[in-house]
Structure 1
Amino acid sequence: MKKFTSLYILISCLCTHFAYSQGCVAVRHMSCSTVAPGGSSDIFKQKNGTFMVNFGYRYFESFRHFRGDVQERERVENGTQVINVSHAADLGITYILNPRLSFSANLPLLSNDRSSLYEHYGNSLTANPQQLRFHTQSKGIGDMRISGSYWLFNPAKLIKGNVAIGFGIKLPTGNYGVTDGFHKRTKDGADYTIVKPVDQSIQLGDGGVGFSLEVQGYQTLAKKSSLYYNGFYLFNPKNVNSTDRDPTNATVDPIIRYFSVADQFAGRVGVNQVLSSKLGLSVMLGGRIEGVPSSDLIGKSEGYRRPGYIVSAEPGLSFMKGKVSGVLSLPIALYRNRTKSYYDKQDPTGQRHGDAAFADYSINFSLSKWF
């Protein structure tokens, strides 16, 4: 039974790392449902009403610019690339009403740093002959999610496969109007700063109430190997939030003056191989896709957004010991595409196509304990 329970733990910990900001493509960080019923077979002997707490951490550094799926290598070569460094801790608690139904609450704690030339003195060697790079930052809580998940079949019956469906509500608890100082120069070359909202990619929240649909599951392939999968789509019906991107600039196109409250999606599939049942140690290898669509499924899609997606290979390692379990994974980018936004598509010539910076990889770690 422990083998089957470890599958739930794996799915739970993987799901905690489901969607995260991947650079300038502003995928709002959050967690999906944690649905694992426990850390060992003893969970099925417990009374209904078990709790599980989860801590997750993720890190990435984005700096490679893409326009469509074409990398703009000159940005790194000439030093004009934008660099986003993100650290995110996720705090979650799950109430397992019974082996099939669970409810979760997750709150992310975020710390972001963004450095660039163009947002300050500019990328031009004439305007910025010393290639000075300045930083803007954001720190605080992100958008909270409350969700529920239900296994279609009873996990306690030791079936070889199962599917869980989930529904979540995303609350705008993260600050979507974080500001910081941006360096500018007078005509005489003197430095001064102005305070305005930081880039959308490091804002802590999106300012909208959303809801998500999720699916996750597993299928035993052999005695010690299994297939796992999960999928997630966040619906954000709100069009734009109230953050004016550049209050001092009256020439900004009205379509992109405010930040868009965008949908987002993610999916994962892979194989888990048990190395040692006694030690509760397994390895996994899979693939994942995540991103922001150019158009929302519900509501308008105006405002400023950088849509796009990234496809990654995802090796990892999981463990389970008593009531404690964890997963370490390393998604490595295979394909990146900055797609055209709603604003880009309004260009009658069809030439406008914004760019975005992506990371090469991310580091994800999750630790869970049930009581």
Structure 2
Amino acid sequence: MAAVSAHAQGCILARSPEQAGLPTEQGGLLQPHQFQLTIGERHQFSYQHYVGDVYQEYRAQDRTQVENRINLVTLNLTYQVTPRVSVEWDMPWLFASRKQQSSPIKYNSSGAGDTIVAVNSWLWNPNHVTRGNVELGLGLYMPTGNDSVTNTIDTNTTGTGSPQKETVPVDYSIQPGTGGWGGVFQWVGYHTVGNNFVLYTDGDYIAMQGGTNGISRGFFQNPKTPLENDVAIADQYLWEGGVEFPIPQVKGLAMTAGARWEGVPAYNLLPVSNDGFRRPGYAVSVGPGLEYSWHKTILTANIYDAVHRDRTRSYPDHVYGGHGDAAFAQYLWLASYTYRF
């Protein structure tokens, strides 16, 4: 199972690196004392604004839409302790930019993200139960990433006069870290149907400590809405499900077709503070994927097309009677390289 280190649906901070590798791939299950190293890549361009599930077309017409470009590279190392139990370490590295369409100001960030360590266990011994199983995992989410990346920008955008330099924090949607601790619950399940088809599901829920990370929102601070002046430490979640089947013409090649639901809830799961600015919401997407296994190597590639997006109301939204927007991506591109040793 690949732990999810941070989930990004544009302004919705929900970053997951890649689709979890299925245990039914030609690589098979990990054996005791075997390692697995996975490098995953996630790419997306978020620019379509929603309030609730309503697309804000005027933002594109007025050239005021915010554009987020995300590249999230994730390193995952798994060690199989017994036939049932494995441990893993997961570290992402973020490369991101953000700008308003009509503005010359562009914000950039990069750096290591927050780390997860987790323990996973199959419910049944996979040596005895081979046509279906469920793996559950518990992990610790650690704030190893920088949550206070700043950029020095020229606020004089008139093109005349002297530069007016100011150092400000970049938007939290492109910060490598969240600034908070959390607990991770994750799962993988599969069931073989007939001789060729495998139904699968995987996902995670990251329950965070809540409150704020103390990072101000710079230009967007408002004395009338103090609950939104600092960035919230919010939960995040991911669910995937679909079917996998082999391509008989090419040995080791399989195809997947599935759905993906990821997002940030308006309220944290634990009884903690929900103060702070967050853009809660979710995106549902569907798409195909390819998997190729050769000896100790597994390659995967997926593309997802968003079919439903919803920017829900946060706790401060309810307090102040507002409903903020968020930028979502139309497509999500995922790829991974896995080597076992």
So what's the TM-score if we normalise by structure 1? 0.85
Normalized per residue, the structure richer in helix is 1
- 2:239 aligns to what? 267
Deviation by residue 1:205-243 (Cα, 9 ceiling, x = unmatched): 110110111121100112110100013110002311021
Distance 1:237 1:31, change over 3 A: farther
Alignment of 1:308-327 (within 5 A): 308-327=281-300
1:70 shift after superposition: 0.4
Provide the C-alpha distance between the structure 1 equivalents of 2:134 and 2:186, rounded to a whole number of angstroms: 11
1:144 alignment partner, one of 115, 120, 129:
115
Please report how far the alpha carbon of residue 147 of structure 1 lies from its aligned counterpart in structure 2 after TM superposition.
Answer: 0.8
Change (3 A) 1:64 1:247: closer
1:43 deviation in Å?
Answer: 5.8
Counterpart-to-counterpart distance in 1, 2:296 and 2:15: 30
* In 2, Cα distance between equivalents of 1:59 and 1:17: 15
CA–CA separation in structure 2 for the residues paired with 1:310 and 1:153? 33
1:20 matched residue in structure 2 = 7
Distance in structure 1 (CA, Å) of the matches to 2:17 and 2:115: 7
Residue 168 of structure 1, aligned match among 115, 127, 139: 139
Q: Residues 104 and 36 of structure 1: is their aligned pair in 2 closer, same or farther, counting only changes over 3 Å?
A: farther
Q: Which protein has the larger Cα radius of gyration, Structure 1 or Structure 2?
A: 1
Give the distance between the partners of 2:111 and 2:61, measured in 1 at CA. 33
Match of 1:243 in 2: 215
1:177/1:202 CA distance change after superposition, 3 Å = same
The structural deviation recorded for 1:29 is: 4.8
- SS of equivalent to 2:215: strand
1:297 maps to which residue? Answer: 269
- In structure 2, do the counterparts of structure 1 residues 286 and 39 end up closer, same or farther at CA, with 3 Å as the change threshold? closer
- Alignment of structure 1 residues 1-371 onto 2, 5 Å: 12=1, 15=2, 20-29=7-16, 40=27, 44=31, 48-116=32-100, 131-185=102-156, 190=161, 191-246=163-218, 251=223, 253-276=225-248, 279-298=251-270, 299-347=272-320, 350=321, 352-371=322-341
Counterpart code for 1:313: V
Matched position secondary structure for 2:316: helix
Amino acid at match of 2:88: S
The AA in structure 2 aligned to 1:138 is: S
Aligned-partner residue type, residue 358 of structure 1: F
Question: Per-residue deviation at 1:38?
Answer: 9.0
Write the letter of the residue equivalent to 1:213: F
The CA deviation at 1:247 is 7.7
Cα distance 1:181–1:42, how it changes in 2: closer, same or farther (>3 A)? closer
Question: For 1:84 and 1:332, how far apart are their aligned partners in 2?
Answer: 17
Once the two structures are TM-superposed, the CA of residue 331 in structure 1 deviates from its matched residue by 1.3
Contact 2:5-2:91 within 8 A present in 1 as well? no
Q: Provide the rounded CA distance (Å) in 2 between the counterparts of 1:37 and 1:222.
A: 13
Give yes or no for contact 1:318–1:327 (8 Å, CA) kept in 2.
Answer: yes
Which piece of structure 1 moves more, 242-251 or 325-334?
242-251
Deviation at 1:183, TM superposition (A): 3.4
Over the matched positions of the two proteins, sequence identity in percent amounts to 33
AA at the equivalent of 1:20: H
Do the aligned residues in 1 keep the contact of 2:18 with 2:42 (CA within 8 Å)? no
1:157 offset after TM fit, Å? 2.5
Name the count of aligned residue pairs.
339
* Displacement after TM superposition at 1:203 (Å): 0.8
CA deviations 1:133-165 (Å, max 9, x no partner) are 320011100001101110011112352110011
Structure-2 residue corresponding to 1:127: none
Cα RMSD over matched residues?
A: 2.6
**Counterpart contact for 2:70–2:96, Cα < 8 Å:** yes
Q: Is the 8 A contact 2:19 2:334 kept in 1?
A: no
Aligned to 1:123: none
Deviation at 1:20, TM superposition (A): 2.9
Distance, in Å, in 1 between the alignment partners of 2:167 and 2:110 is 16
Check whether the contact 1:302–1:343 (CA below 8 A) recurs between aligned residues. Answer: yes
For normalisation by structure 2, the TM-score amounts to 0.92
Which moves more between the two structures, 250-259 or 208-217? 250-259
Distance 1:284 1:252 in 2: 49
Structure 2 CA distance for partners of 1:22 and 1:115, relative to 1, 3 Å: same
**Shift of residue 99 of structure 1?**
2.1
Give, in whole Å, the separation in 2 of the partners of 1:228 and 1:34: 10
Q: Distance in 1 between matches of 2:327 and 2:12?
A: 7
Greater per-residue strand proportion? 2
Partner Cα separation in structure 2 for residue 367 and residue 58 of structure 1: 12
Counterparts in 2 of 1:74 and 1:227: CA distance versus 1, 3 Å: same
Tell whether the 8 Å contact from 1:37 to 1:43 is kept in structure 2 after alignment.
no
SS at 2:218 equivalent: coil
